[in-house]
Structure 1
Amino acid sequence: MAKERKKTVQTKQSPTFVFGKLNYQLMVLSMAIVVLGFILMAGKTDIYSFTKITLAPIVVVAGFALGIVAILKNPNKQDNNSNNS
Structure 2
Amino acid sequence: MGKKQQKPTNQPPKREFIFQKKNYTFMFIGLAFITLGFILMSGGGSDDPNVFNEAIYSFRRIRLAPTLVLIGLGIEIYAILLNPHKKK
TM range (shorter): 0.7 to 0.9
**Equivalences, count:** 70
State the TM-score, normalizing by the size of structure 2: 0.70
Say yes or no: does 1:20 pair with 2:29.
no
Root-mean-square deviation over aligned CA pairs: 1.8
State the TM-score, normalizing by the size of structure 1: 0.73
Q: Distance in 2 between matches of 1:38 and 1:65?
A: 15
- Structure 2 residue ranges without an equivalent (≥5): 1-9, 46-54
- Structure 1 residue ranges without an equivalent (≥5): 1-8, 80-85
Q: Distance in 2 between matches of 1:44 and 1:15?
A: 50
Deviations 1:48-71 (A, max 9, x none): 000000010000000000000000
Say yes or no: does 1:48 pair with 2:57.
yes
Q: CA deviation at 1:14?
A: 6.8
When residues 74 and 10 of structure 1 are mapped into structure 2, their CA distance, relative to the original with a 3 A threshold, is closer
Moved segments of 4+, more than 4 Å = none
- 1:38: which partner in 2? 38
Say yes or no: does 1:60 pair with 2:31.
no
- 2:52: which partner in 1? none
Q: Distance in 1 between matches of 2:34 and 2:72?
A: 5
